[in-house]
Structure 1
Amino acid sequence: MATTVNTLKRPQELEKAIPFLMARAGSRMGNAFAKALKPFGLNLSEWRVCASLLYVPGQTLSELSLHASSDTSALSRIIDRLESQALVRREKSTTDGRSIRVVLTEKGQALALSIVPLAKRHESVLLTGFAPNEIKALRDMLLRLFENAEGLDDLP
């Protein structure tokens, strides 16, 4: 007789592991938002780039890589796709002639601004039942986890 996933007992250690819980929550949130982005013609990685540029315009690839959570080689391909859709453009930096900055076009900015209310609705659903002080604490802890994750780069 086949056992279904719902009847399997999960190890308690796994259910309590922060990376596991974050990955599960992140995956579920990402999948739901990716589905919601389809009518806008963007995938989740492209949205992260557009959202990042909306809030911090004119980023270099290395800055954008950090904010959009994408490595620079994948990011270059994402920028190429967004550029082909006339949503972003590359510009030479005014302070460093060797550096390229990425900016949203008017079309890209309009698209990103039209998606922000959807993103806020998704966040609102996710935070249902959380008190304001819990939301602040969650944000603070996630920021601290992100900062602490830099230490993982030094591990073998």
Structure 2
Amino acid sequence: MIMKTPKRQQELEQAIPFLLTRAGSRMGNAFAKALKAFDLNLSEWRVCASLLYVPRQTLSELSVHSSSDISALSRIIDRLESQDLVKRERSATDGRSIKIVLTRKGEELAQRIVPIAKQHESVLLSGFTASDVQSLRSMLLKLYENAGALDDLE
């Protein structure tokens, strides 16, 4: 006897937000396991990776790049600072502005994790052509851009 998937379940399993969340969760959970060896969680890694690629960010900039809200980000920075992975620096031109910077230890740790992140990405993209990957990146960037309009719906 063949079991059919209920129509509502099929609709859910084809919904783009559902598919993105499900894929993101699976990817995040797998990478979080790898990060345990470095005493980092996924949110902390996103901050370190963001600072590695775009050094000296304000909390506002880092919030966008690391996909963390400001209040959670402050706690993440506190934890990373207690591990001597990041530090806060006052701007030389604007004493009120604070930039978050990777320490040497933080940069070295992030550099050790990057190959693992790339390996995870490689596994995720196996079976995709270079054109598929380029299209996927482009579509995800467009989805992110379009999601900004959702802020206006509330």
Band of TM-score, shorter chain = over 0.9
Aligned to 2:96: 98
Question: Which amino acid in structure 2 is aligned with residue 82 of structure 1?
Answer: L
Question: Which amino acid in structure 2 is aligned with residue 46 of structure 1?
Answer: E
Aligned to 2:132: 134
Q: 1:109 aligns with which of 107, 120, 135?
A: 107
Q: CA deviation at 1:8?
A: 8.4
Aligned to 1:124: 122
Q: CA deviation at 1:25?
A: 0.2
TM-score by length of 2: 0.94
Q: 1:46 aligns with which of 44, 54, 63?
A: 44
Are residue 88 (structure 1) and residue 101 (structure 2) matched? no
Q: 1:17 aligns with which of 10, 15, 18?
A: 15
TM-score by length of 1: 0.93
Deviation digits for residues 16-67 of structure 1, max 9, x if unmatched? Answer: 1000000000000000000010000100000000000000000000000000
Determine what percentage of the aligned residue pairs are the same residue.
Answer: 73
Question: For 1:46 and 1:27, how far apart are their aligned partners in 2?
Answer: 16
Q: CA deviation at 1:9?
A: 3.0
Q: Name the SS for the 1:59 alignment partner.
A: coil
CA pair 13-56 structure 1, distance change in 2 beyond 3 A: same
Question: For 2:45 and 2:39, how far apart are their aligned partners in 1?
Answer: 10
Aligned to 1:71: 69
